[in-house]
Amino acid sequence: MQRYSDAFIREIPKTDLHVHLDGSLRLSSLIDMAKRSKVELPSWTEAGMVELVYKKAYADLGDYLKGFGYTCAVLRDLENLERAAYELAVDNIEEGVLYIEPRFAPQLLMDGKSLTMESVLGAVDKGLARAKAEFNAREEVKEGKKPPFDYGIIACAMRMFGKEGFSPYYDDFFRVHRYSDPMEVLRLGAVELARGIVKVRDGLGIPIVGFDIAGQEAGYPAGNFREAFDFVHGNFMHKTVHAGEAYGAESIFQAITDLHADRLGHGYFLFDVDRVKDPRIEDRKRYTERLASYIADQRITIEVCLTSNLQTNPGLKDLRKHSLGKMLERRLSTTICTDNRLVSDTTVSKEIRLAIDNFDIGPKLLKDMIVYGFKRSFYPGSYAAKRDYVGRAISHYEAIARKHGIAVEVKEA
């Protein structure tokens, strides 16, 4: 098995196409922001927050998601929101990540007053743009020795919503529609977000490059949100869908067919035949294999988040049993992501290290996986500009590989 040094992993150009802004704050900043915004925390020390909230191991997905209550609370402040976006970009840049697509749910942060969709998205863009300008002004970038940093923003709708009091926007939205079926309210919320982000993108020029839906899959089928995804699809916006994170192949199929998914978030249960529930599917193994073959053929990239999957699936005791192995065997397009840097206590470099230490990833395959991150990104520029950017990333990767004595055959990914 090929060995890769930590220095090599850190130096190669990387991407993170699945990173939640509200799950990726610096812990020290979260505490500082909470004091500033008068948000109560269960502890005012980093060690205390790790013990009580952002643990090394979680009981289940619900336990994993508890920490978002605190991050979302402090991010309902435009100054905090801009700071969080800026620090996320800086933290990525420092470990060699040159392109990111932070995602978050604007409606979880809006309050219908000063925290509008425009102001929330604008604050995130302002923080990311500041980090981008600082890095791209460096001599090594201006001289072409390193590719520039860039980003696109992904807006998340919610499949479901939890208890009252978590989000001022959703509290008001459900109150207005209190006589409607809850599923219908969620559908309407997704449609409102879809229309809003297209308006913000086109009116303010904010690089909103993708639309996503997150939250509990089981019981909240993708078809319920078809109207929202049809709208962004018709307005030339890319789609990525959380699918196969806590449900099976049918959810992934729905994401592709009902929601026009260009990429899939997680896809962890793609090959789990026990999670195929439709009684009309007689041969469940054949169903999953045909779906995997279709995904591979269409080059629908799967955003793999190893640490997050370990933490939210207690049954996964050995990372070598993760479905990434089967994805690689079947030559699916995969890219390694963090999901949540704070909640999962991880970085892109850590996730790559986990992948190469647990799976047979040779030099050509590793290069392909890194390049997929750039090629399958929702890059905010033109197609020609994206090709140029990807080319620069590939050239830089090959230069770093040669520096570290890793032979990489030039190969189209």
Distance CA 212, CA 157 (A): 6
- 302 — phi, psi (to 5°)? -100, 125
Burial of 70 (0-12, 13-18, 19+ CB in 10 A): buried
Distance CA 269, CA 347 (A): 23
pLDDT band at 61 (very low <50, low <70, confident <90, very high): confident
Mean pLDDT over residues 321-335, rounded?
97
Q: Which domains does the chain have, with CATH numbers?
A: 6-403 (3.20.20.140)
Whether the pLDDT of residue 169 is over 90: the answer is no
Distance CA 92, CA 9 (A): 13
**DSSP code of residue 147:** P
For 257-282, what is each residue's pLDDT tens digit? 999 999 999 999 999 999 898 899 99
For 20-48, what is each residue's pLDDT tens digit? 999 999 999 999 999 999 999 999 999 99
For 102-147, what is each residue's pLDDT tens digit? 999 999 999 878 899 999 999 999 999 999 999 999 999 999 999 9
Whether the pLDDT of residue 283 is over 70: the answer is yes
Contacts (Cβ under 8 Å, ≥6 apart) of 110: 116, 117, 120, 167, 168, 169
Distance CA 67, CA 126 (A): 25
Per residue in 282-315, is it b (16+ CB within 10 Å) or e — as a string?
A: eebeebbbebbeebeeeebbbbbbbbbbbbbbee
For 68-97, what is each residue's pLDDT tens digit? 999 999 999 999 999 999 999 999 999 999
pLDDT of residue 1: 61
* SS3 of residue 141 by DSSP: helix
Contact (Cβ atoms closer than 8 angstroms) between residue 145 and residue 93 = no
* SS3 of residue 254 by DSSP: helix
Rg, Å, the chain Cα set: 20
pLDDT of residue 238: 98
Alpha helices in 95-247 (DSSP H): 106-109, 117-136, 139-142, 168-176, 182-204, 226-234
Contacts (Cβ under 8 Å, ≥6 apart) of 259: 213, 222, 225, 226, 229, 239, 241
Q: Which helix (H) or strand (E) holds 156?
A: strand 153-158
pLDDT of residue 412: 47
The count of other CB atoms within 10 Å of the CB of residue 195 is 15
Alpha-carbon distances of 194 from 117, 157, 188, 266, rounded to whole Å: 11, 8, 10, 22
Contact (Cβ atoms closer than 8 angstroms) between residue 404 and residue 5 = yes
